[in-house]
Amino acid sequence: MPWPIVGHELAVQQIRQAVAGEDLSHALLITGPENVGKMTLARIIAKSLLCKAEAETRPCEQCTSCKRIESGNHPDFIIIEPENPERPTIKVQQIRELERFLHLTPTESRHKIAIITTFESATIGAANALLKTLEEPPAYVHLFLLASNADTLLPTIVSRSQQVTLRPLERKKIARALVERWQIQADKAQRLARLSGGRLGWAVRAATDNAYLERMESAQRLLLALLVADLPTRFEHAQDLAKSQDTAQLIETLEYWLTGWRDVLLLQAQNDTGLTYTELKAELEHVAQAISINSTVAILQAVVAAQTALFRNANTQLLMENLLLDFPYIG
Ligand SMILES: [Zn+2]
C-alpha cells in the first residue's frame, strides 16, 4: 500500500522503513518551501504511528485513530501553530503547554505526537524551551518540526533532529496529480503546475480559489512597476504594502517576487525551459538584459533575507523600503 503522498519518494521510503522498524527518530525536522507538502507528510506519519489497522495497511484512513488525527481531535496528537497567522510567532507559553501534554503518558496508543508548524517563527525563548524536550524526550514521544529552511533555526535544534528536506516537485508530477486526484482539466492543470513553483499545496489551493492566482498576478505587475518607479514612488509602495498586507501575505508576495527574479536569472542563463511566468517573458527579458547576473543573484539573496526577517517580527515598513531600494531602476 503506497502512502497517499505525491512525490518525495526517497523521503517517504526512508520514513516508512523507520516506522516499520520502530526506529523513527524522536524529532524530525521537515523543511521545504511553503505549501510543498510538509504538513501532509507529518500528518501521514502521525496517522501511520497511531493507526489501529494491520501494519501493512497503515495509515488506513478508516479507523477512529486516523479519522481523529485528520480532524485534529486525537488525545495523543497535537498541532502547535502560531496563534495569530497575521503575525506568526511560536511563543514560549505554547512550548510549555506542549511539554505538559508530552509528559503525560499516551492514553489511547503507544505514542504521543506533536507537530509544530512555522518553526522559524519561534522566539528564542520558545526554541530554548523546546531544546530541553529534544535532549531527553520520553520514549513514546515523536516531534515533527516544520520550517521553510533549517539555516534560520538554532543549530542546537537542528543537530538534535533528523532532517527531512522536501524539494519542489517536477511540473509533470503536479500536473498529473491535479488531473488524477483533484479532477482538474488538463490545460488548467498544466498552467497551475507551471505557476506553482513545484508546490503541490499551492497548486491545489489555486485550483479552487482564484484569489491565489490574482494575488500572484498582481504581485508580478507590482514588481515590474517598481522597477521603473522613482524613489518617492517606491517608498509609497513600501508604505502601502506594509499597511495593506499582514506578515503572512507579505511573505507570499516576496515568494512571488522570488519566482520573478528566478525567471530573470534563467533568461540571463539563456535557459527559458524552466520559466514560470511565460506570459511575462518579454518584460522579464527586458530586465534580464538591463542588469548583470551578479545583480540578480544579489537581489534574490536580499528577498530571501527579507522573508527571514519578516518571521523575526522586523519593522515591516522599514524592511520593505530597504528591499525596494535594493531593486535596480530599469528605464
Ligand atoms: Zn487507521
Indicate which CATH number applies to the domain containing 126. 3.40.50.300
- Which pLDDT score is estimated for 331? 79
Residues 243 and 321 in one domain: yes
User: Mapping DSSP to helix (H, G, I), strand (E, B) and coil, where does residue 31 land?
Assistant: strand
Residues 130 and 20 in one domain: yes
Residue 2, domain member (yes or no)? no
Residues 192 and 268 in one domain: no
Q: What's the number of domains the chain is made of?
A: 3
CATH number at residue 319: 1.20.272
Residues 196 and 130 in one domain: no
d(CA 206, CA 328): 31
Ligand 1 centroid, distance to 169 Cα (angstroms): 27
Ligand 1 centroid, distance to 94 Cα (angstroms): 28
Residue 1, domain member (yes or no)? no
Residues 128 and 27 in one domain: yes
The sheet with strand 77-80 has its strands ordered as 77-80, 112-116, 141-147, 27-31, 162-165
- Which pLDDT score is estimated for 86? 75
Q: Which residues of 111-139 are buried (b: 16+ CB within 10 A; e: fewer)?
A: bbbbbbbbbbbbbeebbebbeebbeebee
Note the pTM of the prediction, 2 decimals. 0.89
Cis peptide before 328 (omega within 30 of 0): no
Ligand 1 centroid, distance to 39 Cα (angstroms): 18
Ligand 1 centroid, distance to 286 Cα (angstroms): 54
Ligand 1 centroid, distance to 61 Cα (angstroms): 5
Q: Backbone dihedral region of 258: left (phi > 0), alpha (psi from -120 to 50 degrees) or beta?
A: alpha
DSSP 95-114: HHHHHHHHHSPPSSSS-EEE
Ligand 1 centroid, distance to 213 Cα (angstroms): 35
Q: Which residues of 255-271 are buried (b: 16+ CB within 10 A; e: fewer)?
A: bbbbbbbbbbbbbbeee
Unique residue bearing C-alpha cell 513553483:
197
Residue 82, domain member (yes or no)? yes
**pLDDT per residue of the chain (331 residues) written in tens, 0 to 9:** 789 899 999 999 999 999 999 999 999 999 998 899 999 999 999 999 999 999 889 999 999 999 999 999 999 999 999 998 777 899 999 999 999 999 999 988 899 999 999 999 999 999 999 998 899 899 999 999 999 989 889 999 999 999 999 999 999 999 999 999 999 999 999 999 999 999 999 999 999 999 999 999 999 999 999 999 999 999 999 999 999 998 889 999 999 999 999 999 999 999 888 899 999 999 999 999 999 999 999 999 999 999 988 887 778 999 999 999 999 999 7
Residues 221 and 192 in one domain: no
d(CA 208, CA 193): 14
Ligand 1 centroid, distance to 110 Cα (angstroms): 14
Asked which of 101, 131, 165 is the last residue of a domain, the reply is 165
d(CA 55, CA 184): 33
Ligand 1 centroid, distance to 54 Cα (angstroms): 9
Ligand 1 centroid, distance to 207 Cα (angstroms): 29
Residues 16 and 161 in one domain: yes
Ligand 1 centroid, distance to 135 Cα (angstroms): 30
Asked which of 107, 134, 165 is the last residue of a domain, the reply is 165
AA letter at 14: Q
Ligand 1 centroid, distance to 67 Cα (angstroms): 7
**CA 187 to the chain's CA centroid:** 26
- Which pLDDT score is estimated for 1? 77
Grid coordinates representing 7 are 512525490
Residues 26 and 146 in one domain: yes
d(CA 209, CA 200): 14
> Cα separations (Å) of 213 from 32, 68, 198, 273?
21, 33, 15, 21
Ligand 1 centroid, distance to 178 Cα (angstroms): 25
Ligand 1 centroid, distance to 58 Cα (angstroms): 6
Ligand 1 centroid, distance to 233 Cα (angstroms): 56
d(CA 102, CA 112): 7
Residues 134 and 245 in one domain: no
DSSP symbol at 136: S
Residues 6+ apart with CB under 8 A from 132: 99
Residue 156, domain member (yes or no)? yes
E strands, the chain, in order: 27-31, 77-80, 112-116, 141-147, 162-165
Residues 161 and 261 in one domain: no
Ligand 1 centroid, distance to 202 Cα (angstroms): 27
Identify the domain containing residue 233 by its residue range.
210-326
Ligand 1 centroid, distance to 137 Cα (angstroms): 25
**CA 143 to the chain's CA centroid:** 18
Ligand 1 centroid, distance to 303 Cα (angstroms): 42
Grid coordinates representing 66 are 486516523
